[in-house]
Amino acid sequence: MLDSVDVGPRSLDAYTQLIGEQGVAEIRELAEPFKGARIAHINASTYGAGVCELLRSIVPLYRGLGIQADWKLISADPEFFSVTKAFRNALQGAPYELTQDARETYLMYNSRNGELLKEEEYDFIIVHDPQTAAIRHFRGPDGTKWIWRCHIDTSEPNEAVLEFMLPFLAEYDALVFTMDAFVPAALRHQRVVTMTPAIDPLSPKNMGLSGAICQEILAWRGINPRKPLITQASRFDPWKDPLGVIEAYRLVRSEVPGLQLALIGSMASDDREVWEMYSRIVAEIKGDDDIHVLTNLIGVGDMDVSAFQTSSDVVIQKSIREGFGLGVSETMWKGTPVVANRSGGIPLQMEGDVGGFLVDDTEECARRVFFLLSNRDEARRRGLAGRERVRQRFLITRLLADELRLLASLASARGTLAPSASAIPG
Q: How far is the CB of 242 from a copy of itself (least distance, A)?
A: 17
Toward a copy of itself, which CB reaches closer, 7 or 404? 7
Decide if 122 contacts 40 (C-beta within 8 A): yes
Q: Based on the shown chain and the rule CB under 8 A, indicate whether residue 266 belongs to the binding site for a copy of itself.
A: yes
Piece in contact with a copy of itself (CB under 8 A), picked from 25-33, 41-49, 131-139, 181-189: 41-49
Contact 394, 329 (CB under 8 A): yes
| Binder among 26, 120, 142, 216 for a copy of itself (CB under 8 A) | 216
Say how far apart CA 344 and CA 342 lie, in whole Å.
7
Query: What is the H or E stretch that residue 48 is in?
Result: none
Residue 78 or 425 with smaller CB distance to a copy of itself = 78
The residue within the footprint of a copy of itself, chosen from 204, 361, 376, 392 (CB under 8 A), is: 204
CB 171 within 8 A of CB 423: yes
Write each residue from 223 to 242 as x if it is in contact with a copy of itself (CB under 8 A), else as -, in one continuous string: xx------------------
Residue 10 contacts a copy of itself per CB under 8 A:
yes
74, 2 contact by CB (below 8 A): yes
The single residue among 38, 103, 112, 221 that binds a copy of itself, judged by CB under 8 A, is 221
Q: 324 with 347: CB under 8 angstroms?
A: no
Q: How far is CA 291 from CA 200, 222, 229, 262, in A?
A: 30, 10, 10, 6
Calpha distance 330→390 (Å, rounded): 8
Assign 192 to helix, strand or coil. Answer: strand
Torsion, CA 371, CA 372, CA 377, CA 381, rounded to 10: 120
* Radius of gyration in angstroms for the set of CA atoms belonging to the chain, rounded to a whole number: 22
The amino acid present at 406, given as its one-letter code, is L
Q: How many residues bind a copy of itself (CB under 8 A)?
A: 50
Nearest distance, CB of residue 155 and a copy of itself, angstroms: 29
Question: Which range of residues in 17-25, 45-53, 94-102, 185-193 is near a copy of itself by CB under 8 A?
Answer: 45-53
The reply on whether position 203 binds a copy of itself by CB under 8 A is yes
The residue among 4 and 99 lying less far from a copy of itself, judged by its C-beta, is 4
52 touching a copy of itself, by CB under 8 A = yes
Nearer to a copy of itself, 292 or 367 (CB): 292
Q: Under rule CB under 8 A, which residues in 334-373 are in contact with a copy of itself?
A: none
Q: Which residues of 168-182 are buried (b: 16+ CB within 10 A; e: fewer)?
A: bbbbbbbbbbbbeeb
**How many Å apart are CA 233 and CA 316, to the nearest integer?**
8
Residue 50 as a binder of a copy of itself (CB under 8 A): the answer is no
Of 267-306, binders to a copy of itself (CB under 8 A) are: 267-270, 275, 286-287, 289, 292, 295-305
Element (H, E) at 301: none
**By CB under 8 A, residue 220 contacts a copy of itself:** yes
State the residues that interact with a copy of itself by CB under 8 A.
3-4, 6-8, 10, 46-48, 52-53, 56, 60, 200, 202-205, 207, 209, 213, 216-217, 219-224, 266-270, 275, 286-287, 289, 292, 295-305
